[in-house]
Structure 1
Amino acid sequence: MLGIKYFKADSSTFVIQTVNGNARKKGQGLSFFYNVATASIAAVPVSAQEAPFIFKLLTADFQSVTVQGQVTYRVAAPEKIAEMLNYSLKSDGKTYVSEDPLKLSDRVIRIVQSIVQNKVQNTSLRDTLKLAQTLVALLREQLIGDSSLAALGIALLDVSISAVQPTTETARALEAEAREALLKEADDAIYNRRKSAVEQERTIKEAELQTELSIQQKEQEIAESRLLNERAIQRGKAETERERLQAEIASESQRKEWVLLNSENSRQQADAEAYAITERMKAFRELPVENLKAMALAKMDPEQLMAMAFESLAQNAGKIGELNITPDLFGHIMKKSVRP
């Protein structure tokens, strides 16, 4: 029949058939015949769509960076977006009347760019290069609550930031700075290692010196103790010697007293004996000689009397004419002299 066509949509397309300003049919994956002259068809894809993006932005310190990522979204309220944008198909049922459906990704990306740019412009270069995860969290939070996306009936599925990169010259400068910092860290590590080695060596040396000092102190204490012991021994010896000398002195003093006493006694005895002899001699001097001889002869032995007689004979030999002495007389004297 002239002007009648058949339309069939896939399962990921929401279709709205309008006839004379009234919606006759709406839903996903519909198929129907329609009159090209009176019917209008709007086809809204409701499947997930990916929109990659690359933004060149300036940081707070006026450095250029490139933010690269991707946002994934879907049309959650196709009737809303059909009212806001023109999703009508041409009479062939295949192409759109306007470019609104093709520019939907640009609308979403512009919202993403606005959020990212606002954050990057208030952040320094160094901090911006570390903003990937922060930007992801920020985009999820703000895109879910964005009023313009809610008005279009768009729901955010996912967002990711794959890279935040500076310009080539800035990257080289940062690399050089980082390299210098790493070299400085390496030098610092070498310095710290050497310093640690020196400190350890000093600690070991101090420990050795402390040990040496302790040994010397112990040796000094031992030497002092030995000296004290030796002094105590010497004092003991000196005390013993002093006591011995005192004992000897006391003994000598006693001996001296004894000698003096003995001498005095001997002198007194000698004086007494001398006095006795003197008195005796005095008495002898006063006695006649004949009496003395008689007293002497009275106390003599026969042998002594014989000797005295012979001595008298010898003294008066000139007066004696003839003297006969028999052997029997001498024999008798000899027997008495050898008698035990």
Structure 2
Amino acid sequence: MADISRRLGWRHLRSAPTAHVRHHRGGKLVHDGPGLSFWYRSLTAALSEVPVDDRELTMAFHARTADFQDVTVQATVTYRVGDPAVAAARLDFSVDPDTGIWRGTPLDQISTLLTEAAQQHALDTLARSPLADVLLTGVASVRERIEEGLATEPRLPATGLEVVAVRVVAIRPEPDVERALRTPAREQIQQEADRATYERRAVAVERERAIAENELASKIELARREEELVEQRGTNTRREAEESAAADAVHAEAEAARTVRLARAEAEAARQVGGARADAQAAWLRVHAEVDPATLHALGLTRLAENLPRIDSLTLSPDVLTGLLAKLGGAGGGQP
């Protein structure tokens, strides 16, 4: 909307660069162009302001597919006024010379024109396609059909309009149909998730089995090594026992030899001692055999006296003394 100011019955208009202003006075075009600024009188001026910038028109409408399913189409059409003079001649872009406000609703007229044209081509395309194809490739086909239809629409050039771009945002079925269509995909996704879970569990079980096998192999190897260790210990113990037995045998043989030698030496010594004693006894007997009997009696008494216990006192009865004297006397009377 243009800025209009008042000065002493005059009006000053200042428009934006994106607004094309046309000023007629007395049926003649006085000012024509975007971004103008000029003075005028409101009683004699006829003003039109046509926006020449790109504008977005968002639309949403219902359509029916070939299999009688309702869908909602959301699209956006970008347009601009390519010929402001034609647009001002075909649509009411006149503004109040005192306020600068449009007297009509030209943008609503343009929106209605574009919406109906785009909707007509979209409906024609969707009516020939089943719902599955529409949901799969419908966005691209509907966009292309709307672009082609608006490009060949005769009313747009006649109104001075140009279509810059067409975008189809979404084509969606009814909520219950959409949920029904999502169910197989969700089931498939769930199946894939379950399969991934089972595969992960299978991998985990396989890894646990491998770990168990490794542990079992380790235990078997450890048992084998323990068996070898026990066998080696038995061999070592047996070897030690054999060596100890051999050493004991050698020691016993040495002890036996030493004992034999000692016994032989003791026997030889005993034999020699016995021989010496026998010789001495024989010599003693020979000496006694050659000695006088009286001398032997004296020696016997001497030996007897040496071996008798100590006699502190001796009591002789008359009978003993008489017998002893008698024996001594008899012995003395027999000698010469």
TM range (shorter): 0.5 to 0.7
Alpha-carbon distance in 1 for matches of 2:124, 2:97: 44
Percent identity over the alignment?
A: 31
Alpha-carbon distance in 1 for matches of 2:19, 2:107: 13
1:42 is aligned to 2:48: yes
Q: Gapped runs of 5+ residues in structure 2? A: 1-6, 195-336
Q: 1:76 is matched with which residue?
A: 82
Residue 140 of structure 1, aligned match among 140, 144, 147: 147
Q: 1:152 is matched with which residue?
A: 159
The count of corresponding residues between Structure 1 and Structure 2 is 189
Q: Name the aligned partner's letter for residue 16 of structure 1.
A: R
How far does residue 181 in structure 1 lie from its aligned partner after superposition?
A: 6.5
How far does residue 183 in structure 1 lie from its aligned partner after superposition?
A: 7.7
- TM-score if structure 2 supplies the norm length? 0.52
- Determine helix, strand or coil for the equivalent of 2:179: helix
- Do 1:63 and 1:125's aligned partners in 2 also have CA atoms closer than 8 Å? yes
How far does residue 84 in structure 1 lie from its aligned partner after superposition?
A: 0.4
- Determine helix, strand or coil for the equivalent of 1:129: helix
1:106 is aligned to 2:112: yes
- Determine helix, strand or coil for the equivalent of 1:103: helix
Q: Gapped runs of 5+ residues in structure 1? A: 188-340
Deviations 1:276-324 (A, max 9, x none): xxxxxxxxxxxxxxxxxxxxxxxxxxxxxxxxxxxxxxxxxxxxxxxxx
Q: 2:31 is matched with which residue?
A: 25
Residue 122 of structure 2, aligned match among 116, 130, 134: 116
- Do 1:86 and 1:101's aligned partners in 2 also have CA atoms closer than 8 Å? no
- Do 2:21 and 2:32's aligned partners in 1 also have CA atoms closer than 8 Å? yes
Alpha-carbon distance in 1 for matches of 2:117, 2:9: 42
Alpha-carbon distance in 2 for matches of 1:48, 1:139: 18
Deviations 1:90-138 (A, max 9, x none): 1324211112233322221221111111111221111111210111222
Alpha-carbon distance in 2 for matches of 1:22, 1:121: 50
Deviations 1:3-26 (A, max 9, x none): 320001110111110112221111
1:168 is aligned to 2:175: yes
Alpha-carbon distance in 2 for matches of 1:110, 1:65: 17
Cα RMSD (Å) of the superposition? 2.4
Distance 1:79 1:108, change over 3 A: same
Alpha-carbon distance in 2 for matches of 1:68, 1:161: 6
- Determine helix, strand or coil for the equivalent of 1:10: coil
Alpha-carbon distance in 2 for matches of 1:132, 1:155: 22
Alpha-carbon distance in 2 for matches of 1:174, 1:74: 39
Alpha-carbon distance in 2 for matches of 1:98, 1:166: 37
